[in-house]
Chain A
């Protein structure tokens, strides 16, 4: 899309001038030679491949760049069929694309196929396809531009990875905070239990002496006085009240830590490139748990999950990433409101529902809403309203690509100024062949 834009702009900006136009003609042969030279130089030096193939798909005319893309010397490429450079899947896709152009006679741009060059190197190549006719108008083949976009694809993959790292880096700081807090109080309580046990033991010693005295039928007055003294010194009542609380809170702390650690493990799904049947309710709950530090200071979290939600085929790592992006955005949106600045918390509400053949996830915030003028840009790559350094502007663009391209779902939003925004994700139920 961007490339098409650029091309359009250049063609408007610099009208290609026909050599000789607007001047008095010199020798017509000379003019012709000049024109030919110019086009030849353009054809040979343009940093893109130009190809013509016949109706069967054999190369009949092409420049050097096509040879480079196909990893094949120019003279060897002539009359060779493009299918020889593709695996079956790509060859079928290409066949479909060419058939479509043949039938509809409409040109296509941005068809991407993987080429396995004669040199053995795999390249992602973008093609534009136009129908080619002879002088009588008969369809005799196709022509178009071919571009090696492997580099660009690599960069896109890197950006996805960078965004993931960025949000994980931010998460890690939050998670450290979430874990440190229960560890702090659990450790403090355990120290207290250790100290208290020492004190209780001194009391127990006095009690044993009392027991020995009673058993031996001796005077107990002195021991009783000792017990009174010891129990008041160590404040036994306080200990009896506090020890059970200290134990309960420590257990709670350990449970919290365990919960966070297990949620982290389930969040990341390293190296999972295949769709697996996923309990999305649980996955969302997990993401909410590990991102707690990102929202808890500005919002209360409400969840309303459809208990009858079936398992959904998805890439769990990427799905979690999407939910994380949206939850963090919701928290930031609420953090921007005047309410948040004066200490009133907003609400983030996450619901899941079955809607026909879709599994629908709604994530609502009580933030300021999305201003009209940017509504159609929020899924654009690098679009961000956050201050520099706060976000790469990739979060929603990547979420969009994950949900739409990889899952065959949809992502959209409802928003109202000063009321809030609801992001709506729909994933296909069933096999989910997106």
Chain B
């Protein structure tokens, strides 16, 4: 995956932790072909790992769970506290469900032992690529620390009620989760990473809920508390409502576009989920910057371009922040790409239809339809990208301005 970058040449540093020295020896040998790209260190215990971390910064920590004295989960929660920008991955043969569930809140990804070499390499490489999305370590740290996105309070109440009822229905729970982008994102993390050893491609949030099963969902939500609700006082309620409506509509529309363009089922499924999550970065920003982000929300609804305002104030856009966190959570690459570039598809360097294409078009269509969305950056169209996609259907915005011309126009306005 190439997320346009100049910085990709910097070496990534990775710390592996396992109480079995033979596992570390094996990893070191197996990953030897990466020696020119990665700097690898190895620790035989959590305490040693923490000592090594004191001396130098690591991009990624990969740890076993069951270790004497201080287990991998305790290690990761320390890492989370002390070095929040370090990405936390578990590589474990653990099958104890209780421990696995506890792992959800301290790790970004979960890899099962025995782990295929290519999967391990890909997981770590992807983190290297992702980090090019966010330039500043301080922002990486802020985003990495987010372990759950805020849900719409009404949906949060609804799911809690359903889960606590004596005859909770998995169908209803699936339905509620699929209407909430925050819950959907979390559930996708759980199934896409191998926390529960489930198949990697899933077709919808509802299916993910079915795969996890009622008991697991109950424990995850009620005792591990993987969901949370919006608590920001200054965030206008109608804004949240609109953001949720917009996400749902974009999801449905993305799916329709992918279907219309006769894409295969995997692309269609991913288009739907990418559409639902394309603005998840706004929740990430709200979590990281709390009430300061509410300020942007109301301002951005005026005439200024939202992403530019975000960059100016926070040094990061919601597209970047969302893609980065969803990437850390191990969501499928096409979804990450769609989130990262939903305002600028040309930067994705792909020459064929992907969920990004569907989300890009759907976002504009929804933006056109909905009067409340006055974020005009979304109303510009990258004609070059659209032409390259060789779309089958005609979309009602071919005559819209190019992004650059729009920028000039808005500059004149001021």
Interface residues of A (CB under 8 A from B): 172-173, 176-177, 179-189, 191-192, 195, 242, 245-246, 249, 252-253, 293, 297-298, 342-343, 345
- Residue contact A249 to B20, C-beta cutoff 8 Å: no
Binary per-residue interface labels of chain B (62-84) against chain A in the complex, 1 for a CB within 8 Å, 0 otherwise: 00001111100000000000000
- Tell me which residues across on chain A come within 8 A of B95, comparing CB atoms: 172-173, 176-177
A191-B22 contact given A173-B96, A180-B114, CB 8 Å threshold:
no
- Residue contact B117 to A188, C-beta cutoff 8 Å: yes
- Tell me which residues across on chain B come within 8 A of A180, comparing CB atoms: 93, 112-114
A185-B68 contact given A180-B114, A192-B32, A195-B33, CB 8 Å threshold:
no
- Residue contact A177 to B93, C-beta cutoff 8 Å: yes
Q: Does chain A have a CB within 8 A of B115? A: yes
Nearest Cβ in chain B — how far from A299, in angstroms? 10
A249-B93 contact given A187-B114, A188-B117, A297-B66, CB 8 Å threshold:
no
Contacts A184-B113, A191-B117, A342-B69 aside, 11 further interface pairs with beta carbons under 8 A come to A176-B95, A177-B94, A177-B95, A179-B93, A186-B26, A187-B26, A187-B117, A195-B33, A249-B22, A297-B66, A343-B70
Q: Does chain A have a CB within 8 A of B141? A: no
* 18 A-B pairs with C-beta separation under 8 A: A176-B95, A177-B93, A179-B93, A180-B112, A182-B22, A184-B114, A188-B117, A191-B117, A192-B29, A192-B32, A195-B32, A242-B29, A246-B25, A252-B22, A293-B66, A297-B67, A343-B68, A343-B70
- Tell me which residues across on chain B come within 8 A of A182, comparing CB atoms: 22
- Tell me which residues across on chain A come within 8 A of B96, comparing CB atoms: 173
Nearest Cβ in chain B — how far from A378, in angstroms? 26
- Complex Cα spacing A293 to B68, Å: 11
- Complex Cα spacing A192 to B24, Å: 13
Q: Does chain A have a CB within 8 A of B23? A: yes
Q: Which residue of B lies closest to A253 (CB)?
A: B22
- Tell me which residues across on chain B come within 8 A of A173, comparing CB atoms: 94-96
A249-B30 contact given A173-B95, A180-B114, CB 8 Å threshold:
no
- Residue contact A181 to B93, C-beta cutoff 8 Å: yes
Q: Which residue of B lies closest to A345 (CB)?
A: B68
- Tell me which residues across on chain B come within 8 A of A342, comparing CB atoms: 69
User: Chain B interface residue count: which class?
Assistant: 20 to 34
- Complex Cα spacing A253 to B70, Å: 25
A188-B113 contact given A173-B95, A176-B93, A297-B66, CB 8 Å threshold:
no
- Residue contact A343 to B32, C-beta cutoff 8 Å: no
Secondary structure dominating the interface of A: helix
- Tell me which residues across on chain B come within 8 A of A297, comparing CB atoms: 66-68
Nearest Cβ in chain B — how far from A99, in angstroms? 56
Considering only residues 103-151 of chain B, those with a C-beta below 8 Å from chain A are 112-115, 117
Q: Does chain A have a CB within 8 A of B27? A: yes
- Complex Cα spacing A187 to B30, Å: 9
The 6 closest A-B pairs by CB, nearest first: A180-B93, A188-B26, A343-B69, A185-B26, A192-B29, A188-B30
Considering only residues 378-412 of chain B, those with a C-beta below 8 Å from chain A are none
- Tell me which residues across on chain A come within 8 A of B115, comparing CB atoms: 184
- Tell me which residues across on chain B come within 8 A of A179, comparing CB atoms: 93
- Tell me which residues across on chain A come within 8 A of B20, comparing CB atoms: 181, 185
- Complex Cα spacing A185 to B314, Å: 44
- Tell me which residues across on chain A come within 8 A of B112, comparing CB atoms: 180
- Residue contact B93 to A184, C-beta cutoff 8 Å: yes
- Complex Cα spacing A297 to B70, Å: 10
- Complex Cα spacing A253 to B25, Å: 13
- Residue contact B93 to A245, C-beta cutoff 8 Å: no
- Tell me which residues across on chain B come within 8 A of A252, comparing CB atoms: 22
Q: Which residue of B lies closest to A192 (CB)?
A: B29
- Tell me which residues across on chain B come within 8 A of A187, comparing CB atoms: 26, 30, 114, 117
- Complex Cα spacing A298 to B67, Å: 10
Considering only residues 130-186 of chain B, those with a C-beta below 8 Å from chain A are none
